[in-house]
Amino acid sequence: MNVAFFLLPKENVITLKPNNTMRQALERMERHGYTAVPLVDDGGKYAGTITEGDLLWKMKNSPDLRFGDTHRIFLHEVPKRRNVDPVRIDAVMDDLIKLAKTQNFVPVIDDMDVFIGIIRRSDIIEYCYGKMTPKAVFANSDKFDGIG
């Protein structure tokens, strides 16, 4: 199955730019209830993902940084504690599942590394559950006689 089936297009995804500030990221995350947001540069290319944890660690490791000063710190200055790897639009399901095990969403890029959207882990789980459930219910049914 092609991963495009699961794609939430970039028009429907909240993103930030590397030159946005920590304060803008915190406000956007709070407003939308997200813990991570993809970064997209001015050329539309995927530039990583910023997480709440990245922002918290930046605050912890910058003793002089106060919340009121977060408008002065750009996201490209915030170290990322882990890479949130993207997949290409022509990736296969196995590639997607490997990344979704450790990421809430998987960014999707085209052949030019341009960000085209995300695939949410919850959508992948829901799809897989739907594929497994009918077989599991049927196989465990008391009425299953092995014929069919």
List Cα–Cα distances, 72 to 23, 78, 107, in angstroms.
Answer: 8, 12, 27
Q: In the chain, what are the domain boundaries?
A: 3-139
Q: Which residues of the chain have pLDDT under 70?
A: 1, 134-148
How many degrees, rounded to 5, is the angle at CA 66 between CA 63 and CA 67? 140
Could you read off the pLDDT of 24-38 as tens digits, one per residue? 999 999 999 999 999
Q: What is the pTM of this model?
A: 0.82
Is CATH 3.10.580.10 the classification given to domain 3-139?
A: yes
